[in-house]
């Protein structure tokens, strides 16, 4: 008898997608995430992914699998040649273990007969095993509707028995949906936005704008730390850093004070679009949420959106701040995001920013600037770093 991990990725998600392509990507991501854990075999079998491994690594493997998009369920299971008595014994031991660990009081057996040559039907297998457990354990009952524990039994070319179902994040494997460029600030929202889009199968690169030396080295490191946390889920990606200060100074000098934020946000979008081209990205991702701040009203979004042609994904547009914070905590970017280093947007912050900018008026102000030259200069000084998890 051996331990094995079963990874399930759900069927609905594969509809309309090329199944092979999806599975192969997922296998590749799993192999990559586990590559330092010794002797491990990852392979597809019967619309699931199986992992053979060395026993002592089970918890660590599961912990890593939980961070791979596309995985819906993970179970550590026993596998052995099909034999009803053996199945009964292993199922009984699972229940005993769960009683000892969790004090479960009710259970049910859920069986699946894939090998139709096996003489008992699924329901018959379940009732045989259930009866065996009831005969051998005191103080336990069957509850088919709301059991404390379920023992899953699968009769295939071999028998599989398990009772843990651990949920992954679901979604689609990174890279099955193309590539996008995340506008990554040091705030709470943008890392969550990037995470959500990667969960839908997008590969990511990121661009960050700073105002060095008004913003510090520490602020830059903070963004780098956020990028590292994201890379656990997203894999390797590239961080482009651009100094916005010369542009902000120019706006400050030549344009109305209350338009500072909206004008610099248009520059950010234009610069991001240029970087997207370099990175091979076909969309932009931001952490904007409707109504959260002055630059996130419909009018502001329209004004910044019109600076670019690429699609802009705003996965948080309808999400409340409390819910974004909860997501940030779950993906473990929150603690880094709340570190108090200054953001480039706080430099030259207008006392009363326009909340309902009119596009024609903003375009007029923009005419006072040599937009192309400013963009070229900013790109010329851009720094590029590959984020690789150490
Ligand atoms: P966040 O928490 O993500 O910083 P926010 O609530 O502070 O968002 P804004 O400052 O209006 O909101 O920024 C909206 C979005 O614009 C951010 O989510 C991010 O995608 C992008 N953005 C803002 N500042 C920067 C920056 N310095 N570098 C890169 N992207 C930025
Ligand atoms: Mg911000």
CATH dotted code for 179-387:
3.40.50.620
Instruction: Look at ligand 1, atom 7, and give the residue with the nearest C-alpha.
Output: 187
- Residue, of 345 and 264, whose pLDDT is higher: 264
Angle (nearest 5°) at CA 371 between 384 and 257: 105
Q: Which atom of ligand 1 is nearest to the CA of 206?
A: 29
Q: What share of the chain is helix, strand, coil (3-state, %, to 5)?
A: 45, 20, 35
CA of 333 to the centre of ligand 2 (A): 14
Domain ranges of the chain: 2-167, 179-387
- Both tokens of 315, joined, read 């996965």
Per-residue confidence (pLDDT) for residue 16, from 0 to 100: 66
Per-residue confidence (pLDDT) for residue 354, from 0 to 100: 87
What's the burial of 69, exposed, middle or buried (CB within 10 Å: 0-12/13-18/19+)? Answer: buried
Report the mean per-residue pLDDT for the chain: 94
Q: How far is the C-alpha of 231 from the C-alpha of 388, rounded, in Å? A: 7
Per-residue confidence (pLDDT) for residue 144, from 0 to 100: 95
DSSP string across 84-132: HHHHHHHHHHHHHHHHHHH---EEEEEEEE--TTSSS-HHHHHHHHHHH
Q: What is the mean pLDDT of residues 312-337?
A: 97
| pLDDT at residue 70 greater than cutoff 90 | yes
Q: How far is the C-alpha of 303 from the C-alpha of 266, rounded, in Å? A: 8
Q: Across the strands, what pairs with 51?
A: 5, 42
Q: What is the mean pLDDT of residues 259-288?
A: 97
Q: How far is the C-alpha of 345 from the C-alpha of 373, rounded, in Å? A: 21
pLDDT digits (tens, 9 = 90+) for 230-248: 999 999 899 999 999 999 9
Q: What is the mean pLDDT of residues 267-291?
A: 97
Angle (nearest 5°) at CA 172 between 287 and 57: 105
Distance of CA 9 to CAs 12, 72, 371, Å? 9, 5, 47
| pLDDT at residue 342 greater than cutoff 80 | no
Q: Give CA 340 to chain center in angstroms.
A: 25
**240-246-252-254 Cα dihedral, nearest 10 degrees:** -120
CATH dotted code for 2-167:
3.30.2130.30
**Is the Cβ atom of 342 under 6 angstroms away from ligand 1?**
no
DSSP summary character for residue 347: T
Q: What is the mean pLDDT of residues 117-132?
A: 96
CA of 186 to the centre of ligand 2 (A): 6
Any alpha helices (H) in 259-339, and if so which ranges? 260-279, 298-305, 321-330, 334-337
**Is the Cβ atom of 240 under 6 angstroms away from ligand 1?**
no
Q: What is the mean pLDDT of residues 381-389?
A: 92
Q: How far is the C-alpha of 203 from the C-alpha of 280, rounded, in Å? A: 10
The total number of residues written for the chain in this structure: 390
Per-residue confidence (pLDDT) for residue 390, from 0 to 100: 63
pLDDT digits (tens, 9 = 90+) for 149-179: 999 999 999 999 999 999 999 999 999 999 9
CA of 388 to the centre of ligand 1 (A): 23
Instruction: Look at ligand 1, atom 23, and give the residue with the nearest C-alpha.
Output: 185
| pLDDT at residue 374 greater than cutoff 70 | yes
* CB-based contact 246:335 (threshold 8 Å): no
Q: How far is the C-alpha of 370 from the C-alpha of 250, rounded, in Å? A: 9
265 known member of a binding site: yes
C-alpha torsion sign, points 98, 99, 102, 105: positive
Q: What is the mean pLDDT of residues 212-223?
A: 90
| pLDDT at residue 46 greater than cutoff 90 | no
Per-residue confidence (pLDDT) for residue 345, from 0 to 100: 67
Per-residue confidence (pLDDT) for residue 17, from 0 to 100: 63
Q: What is the mean pLDDT of residues 339-350?
A: 76
Place 13 in a pLDDT band, splitting at 50, 70 and 90.
low
Ligand 1 pocket test, candidate residues 180, 186, 188, 190, most atoms within 8 A of CB: 190
Ligand nearest to the CA of 184: 1
Per-residue confidence (pLDDT) for residue 119, from 0 to 100: 94
Distance of CA 192 to CAs 66, 154, 195, 282, 343, Å? 17, 38, 5, 20, 17
- Both tokens of 168, joined, read 């992954």
Q: Across the strands, what pairs with 154?
A: 112, 160
| pLDDT at residue 311 greater than cutoff 70 | yes
**Is the Cβ atom of 328 under 6 angstroms away from ligand 1?**
no
Angle (nearest 5°) at CA 304 between 204 and 311: 40
**Is the Cβ atom of 188 under 6 angstroms away from ligand 1?**
yes
* CB-based contact 152:162 (threshold 8 Å): yes
* CB-based contact 195:233 (threshold 8 Å): yes
Among 23-32, 163-172, 295-304, 350-359, the range scoring the smallest mean pLDDT is 350-359
Per-residue confidence (pLDDT) for residue 11, from 0 to 100: 67
CA of 47 to the centre of ligand 1 (A): 40
Ligand 1 pocket test, candidate residues 184, 186, 187, 353, most atoms within 8 A of CB: 187
> Going by C-beta distance under 8 Å and a sequence separation of 6 or more, which residues neighbour residue 278?
240
| pLDDT at residue 295 greater than cutoff 90 | no
């Amino acid at each position: 008898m051996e331990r094995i991990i079963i990874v399930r990725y759900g069927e609905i998600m594969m509809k309309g997608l090329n199944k092979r392509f999806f599975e192969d990507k997922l296998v590749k991501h799993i192999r990559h995430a586990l590559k330092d854990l010794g002797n491990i075999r990852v392979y597809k079998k019967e619309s699931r992914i199986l992992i053979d491994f060395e026993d002592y690594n089970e918890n660590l493997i599961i912990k890593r699998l939980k961070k791979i998009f596309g995985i819906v369920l993970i179970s550590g299971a026993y596998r052995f040649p099909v034999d009803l008595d053996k199945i009964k014994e292993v199922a009984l031991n699972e229940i005993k273990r769960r009683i000892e660990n969790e004090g479960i009081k009710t259970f049910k057996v859920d069986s699946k007969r894939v090998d139709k040559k096996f003489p008992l039907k699924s329901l018959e297998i379940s009732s045989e095993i259930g009866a065996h457990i009831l005969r051998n354990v005191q103080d336990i009952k069957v509850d088919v509707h709301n059991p404390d524990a379920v023992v899953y039994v699968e009769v295939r070319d071999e028998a599989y028995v398990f009772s843990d179902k651990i949920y992954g994040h679901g979604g689609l494997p990174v890279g099955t949906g193309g590539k996008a460029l995340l506008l990554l600030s040091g705030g709470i929202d943008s890392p969550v936005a990037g995470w959500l889009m990667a969960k839908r199968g997008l590969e990511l690169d990121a661009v960050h704008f700073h105002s060095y030396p008004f913003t510090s080295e520490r602020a830059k490191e903070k963004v780098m730390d956020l990028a590292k946390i994201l890379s656990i889920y997203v894999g390797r990606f590239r961080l482009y850093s651009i100094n916005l200060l010369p542009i902000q100074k120019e706006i400050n000098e030549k344009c109305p004070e209350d338009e500072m934020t909206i004008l610099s946000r248009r520059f950010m979008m234009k610069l991001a679009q240029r970087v997207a081209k370099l990175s091979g990205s076909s969309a932009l991702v931001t952490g904007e949420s409707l109504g959260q701040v002055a630059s996130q009203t419909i009018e502001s979004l329209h004004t910044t959106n019109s600076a670019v042609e690429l699609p802009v994904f705003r996965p948080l547009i309808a999400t409340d701040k409390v819910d974004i914070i909860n997501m940030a905590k779950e993906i473990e970017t929150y603690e880094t995001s709340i570190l108090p280093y200054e953001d480039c947007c706080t430099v030259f912050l207008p006392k009363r920013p326009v909340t309902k900018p009119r596009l024609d008026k903003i375009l007029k102000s923009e005419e006072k600037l040599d937009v192309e030259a400013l963009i070229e200069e900013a790109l010329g000084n851009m720094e590029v770093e590959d984020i690789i998890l150490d």
